[in-house]
């Protein structure tokens, strides 16, 4: 009877494990649990009555499958953040719009063309000034919008770093509890792997399970995030890098991630949402707006346009009369800081319509005006950047932003399928199958009922034996 009673207790534990599996079938990080059963020795002569006992819990978690999911999730997080960020950048470039840099440049070249036919016409001269003012405003507006986007991404980087620290704290708490217990806790394990999968959406890392069951989390470059019961907190900041020494000291600052000692570990963050945000911020945006090592394509365009137009106008005179005054520059920008040319480009506030110089150095009455009009479709090197016109160069900047977004979006879609496949393979190994649990439940219910029947038979037999005793 004692053996049967013990078996009932074991089968009840098995049913409880099955119920727990069913309850947690959709819990992130949960792996199917199974109660190990062990037969007890049967030797009547020695008093060993046999039966069954529990020998602890096993789970079906496959660490290699978990690692595969984490790696694919890191890549998915990277492409998702990259697609969202570059989508915002791309939206600021609309070459078909009636406003913006492209439209302003077209209007400027058209005003040059109209002025070249009537160099002395005050209306044509004023139209040139108005068009130049609009070009400056368009460059400043686009530069400011891109800078605001950089600020928004900086905020997202800071939020992501905070999320990483929060998840690292959860893992650290798991290590504290795990170090205080000699046995694994399935519930704690589920929390751990749920936290690790959430962390893999945010950044790239690797894990090492120590002999005491605690988990060490290292960023890809080896920077420890969690070691045993110690957590190293990350932080984010923006500043102009000094290593290598800056070429453009007053440029847009770069986003950085720092470890708990203040060391710059930005280069180690190459995956997850944080990696995608850093890539969009420090590569895509910096390529347009510049940073400590590059001027930025938009600034190159603004400076090239201003320098060429000003050089043409200043090389000529306002009329063909002897002793006529030299022309005045049409544009101004901060010449001490080429990395801010786009954000400071503006119409020269001191120029008047009469100071426009249509006469070239050879004395041609509208030579300069014709040269300015020809900048729309230059035939030589003047008015070009990397062999293309200013309009075409701006088109390349816009196309580059669009290509970045298109590539990131395509990568995100492809990576989503790969990640889903990795999760499916993991779930086949360690996930909970309700059909399998239902089958196991029926088996243990029948075993429980059979053992209960044995107890009933033994109880009835004992009662019958008692009834056979005849009192003296």
Domain ranges of the chain: 2-60+432-468, 63-430
Q: What does the pLDDT read at residue 33?
A: 65
Q: What does the pLDDT read at residue 341?
A: 96
- Collapsing DSSP states into helix, strand and coil, what is residue 410? helix
How many angstroms separate the CA atoms of 415 and 145, rounded?
A: 30
How many angstroms separate the CA atoms of 284 and 381, rounded?
A: 28
229 to each of 176, 183, 204, 216, how far by Cα in Å?
A: 5, 17, 21, 9
Q: What is the pTM of this model?
A: 0.84
Q: What does the pLDDT read at residue 7?
A: 72
Q: What does the pLDDT read at residue 29?
A: 56
* pLDDT tens, N- to C-terminus, the chain (472 residues): 677 767 777 667 667 667 766 776 676 556 666 666 777 776 667 666 667 776 666 666 788 888 999 999 999 999 999 999 999 999 999 877 778 999 999 999 999 999 999 999 999 999 999 999 999 999 999 999 999 999 999 999 999 999 999 999 999 999 999 888 777 677 788 888 889 999 999 999 999 988 888 999 999 878 999 999 999 999 999 999 888 899 988 889 999 999 999 999 999 999 999 999 999 999 999 999 999 999 999 999 999 999 999 999 999 999 998 889 999 999 999 999 999 999 999 999 999 999 999 999 998 999 999 999 999 999 878 899 999 999 999 999 999 999 999 999 999 999 999 999 998 888 877 766 666 657 767 776 776 677 777 777 777 787 777 777 766 6
Q: What does the pLDDT read at residue 82?
A: 97
Q: What does the pLDDT read at residue 96?
A: 74
Q: What does the pLDDT read at residue 41?
A: 78
How many angstroms separate the CA atoms of 372 and 112, rounded?
A: 6
How many angstroms separate the CA atoms of 338 and 320, rounded?
A: 35
How many angstroms separate the CA atoms of 360 and 71, rounded?
A: 64
Start-to-end CA span in the chain (Å): 29
Q: What does the pLDDT read at residue 187?
A: 74
CB under 8 Å to 258, separation ≥6 — which residues?
234, 235, 236, 237, 264, 265
Structure tokens at 453: 């029947």
Partnered with residue 258 across adjacent β-strands are 235, 264
């Amino acid at each position: 009877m004692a053996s049967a009673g013990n078996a009932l207790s074991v089968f009840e534990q098995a049913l409880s494990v099955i119920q727990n599996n069913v309850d947690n079938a959709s819990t992130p990080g949960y792996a199917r649990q199974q109660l190990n059963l062990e037969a007890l020795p049967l030797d009547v002569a020695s008093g060993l009555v046999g039966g069954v006992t529990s020998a602890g819990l096993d789970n079906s978690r496959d660490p290699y499958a978990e690692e595969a999911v984490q790696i694919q999730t890191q890549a998915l997080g990277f492409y998702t953040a990259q697609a969202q960020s570059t989508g915002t950048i791309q939206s600021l470039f609309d070459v078909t719009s009636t406003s913006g840099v492209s439209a302003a440049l077209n209007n400027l070249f058209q005003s040059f063309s109209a002025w070249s036919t009537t160099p002395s016409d005050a209306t044509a001269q004023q139209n040139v000034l108005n068009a130049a003012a609009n070009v400056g405003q368009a460059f400043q507006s686009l530069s400011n919008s891109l800078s605001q986007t950089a600020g928004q991404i900086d905020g997202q980087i800071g939020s992501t770093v905070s999320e990483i620290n929060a998840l690292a704290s959860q893992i650290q708490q798991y290590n504290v509890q795990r170090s205080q217990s000699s046995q694994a806790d399935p519930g704690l394990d589920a929390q751990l792997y749920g936290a690790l999968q959430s962390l893999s959406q945010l950044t790239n890392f690797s894990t090492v399970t120590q002999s005491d069951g605690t988990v060490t989390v290292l960023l890809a470059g080896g920077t420890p995030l969690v070691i045993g019961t110690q957590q190293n907190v990350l932080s984010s900041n923006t500043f102009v890098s000094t290593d290598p020494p800056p070429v453009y000291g007053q440029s847009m600052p770069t986003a950085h991630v720092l470890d708990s000692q203040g060391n710059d570990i930005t280069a180690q963050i190459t995956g997850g949402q944080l990696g995608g945000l850093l890539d969009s911020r420090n590569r895509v945006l910096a390529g347009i707006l510049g940073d400590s090592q590059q001027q930025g394509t938009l600034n190159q365009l603004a400076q090239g346009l201003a320098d060429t137009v000003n050089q043409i106008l200043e090389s000529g005179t306002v009329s063909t009369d002897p002793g006529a005054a030299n022309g005045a520059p049409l544009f101004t920008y901060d010449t001490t800081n080429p990395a801010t040319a786009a954000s400071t480009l503006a119409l020269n506030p001191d120029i008047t319509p009469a100071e426009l110089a249509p006469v070239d150095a050879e004395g041609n009455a509208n030579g300069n005006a014709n040269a300015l009009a020809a900048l729309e479709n230059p035939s030589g090197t003047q008015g070009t950047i990397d062999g293309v016109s200013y309009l075409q160069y701006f088109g390349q900047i816009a196309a580059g932003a669009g290509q970045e977004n298109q590539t990131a979006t395509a990568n995100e879609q492809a990576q989503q399928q790969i990640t889903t496949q990795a999760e499916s393979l993991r779930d086949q190994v360690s996930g909970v199958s309700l059909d399998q649990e239902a089958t196991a439940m029926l088996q243990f219910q029948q075993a429980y009922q059979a053992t209960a029947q044995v107890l009933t038979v033994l109880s009835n037999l004992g009662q019958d034996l008692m009834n056979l005793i005849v009192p003296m």
